[in-house]
Amino acid sequence: MPDLFASLIVATYNQGEFLAECLDSLISQSLPRFEFELIVVNDGSTDATSAVIQEYSSQLDEVISHENQQGLVAACNTGLKQARGRYFIRVDSDDYLEHTALEQLKTAAAKAPSTDIITPAYWILEGQETTILRTDPSNLFTWMAGGVLLNRESVMRAGGYRNYYWEEYDLYLRMLRQGSTVSGISEPILHYRKHGENMTAKKDARVDGWNRLIETWSSAELRRFGNHEELEEILLSDEVR
């Protein structure tokens, strides 16, 4: 559909507690509803997730269910295969968008039509505290997985997501290496919820993920596109050894 601005993909597994708030934020966007589609991939959930999706089914464009859990990367790629929009936006099911998020992203895309990646700022919700995280278009390790506007054809040309812990960084690296261009917007548009069940909450898993990236990408290549304190500690430790 040539007039379809974006495909919003929600890949969810056992997030029934937060999913309704996420879907409400997408359905109520200020951008006209016919300009974007909503795709939900239920990755074999065993909690109330399926019931929540059923409640919203009439307002969703596509609902895909994996019989058994296949993992986040597989769920995202399942959604991408069905997407028809010019752009793709991933929204994790425990996060939610500002009311004007899509409108702001569309305005930014219109100002830079050749840009493949547009990175926003974020609200970080941790307990009762709320802070703003500003991203740096020149440092991919400040970008998050959700809320980023990605040219769908560029994503598919890069091969979609691969089965990495830091699957978003691996995708961004491949997109940048193939020549994708980046810009940013300074306003926060996505509320990122930090809690004990976040995939990035466990340090051992993060470190294993960094090491997998290092195995795939040279230290020079990683440093070329950005920096991250935890990653740099590992790189320096490897260089000392």
Above 80 in pLDDT, residue 199? Answer: no
Q: What pLDDT shows up at residue 1?
A: 45
Q: Indicate the average pLDDT of the chain.
A: 94
What distance in Å separates the CA atoms of residue 150 and residue 147, rounded to the nearest whole number? 9
What would the two tokens of residue 33 be? 């509803």
Above 90 in pLDDT, residue 2? Answer: no
What distance in Å separates the CA atoms of residue 189 and residue 118, rounded to the nearest whole number? 12
Radius of gyration over alpha carbons of the chain, in Å?
A: 17
β-bridge pairing 117-126 and 129-133: antiparallel
Contact 24, 1 (CB under 8 A): no
Above 60 in pLDDT, residue 240? Answer: no
Above 90 in pLDDT, residue 202? Answer: no
pTM for the structure as a whole: 0.94
pLDDT digits (tens, 9 = 90+) for 75-133: 999 999 999 999 999 999 999 999 999 999 999 999 999 999 999 999 999 888 999 99
Domains and CATH numbers, the chain: 6-195 (3.90.550.10), 202-241 (no CATH)
Contact 76, 164 (CB under 8 A): no
Q: What pLDDT shows up at residue 196?
A: 63
pLDDT digits (tens, 9 = 90+) for 147-193: 999 999 999 999 999 999 999 999 999 999 999 999 999 999 999 99
Above 70 in pLDDT, residue 65? Answer: yes
pLDDT digits (tens, 9 = 90+) for 43-55: 999 999 999 999 9
What distance in Å separates the CA atoms of residue 34 and residue 32, rounded to the nearest whole number? 6
Above 90 in pLDDT, residue 215? Answer: yes
Q: What pLDDT shows up at residue 194?
A: 86
Contact 14, 46 (CB under 8 A): yes
Above 60 in pLDDT, residue 205? Answer: yes
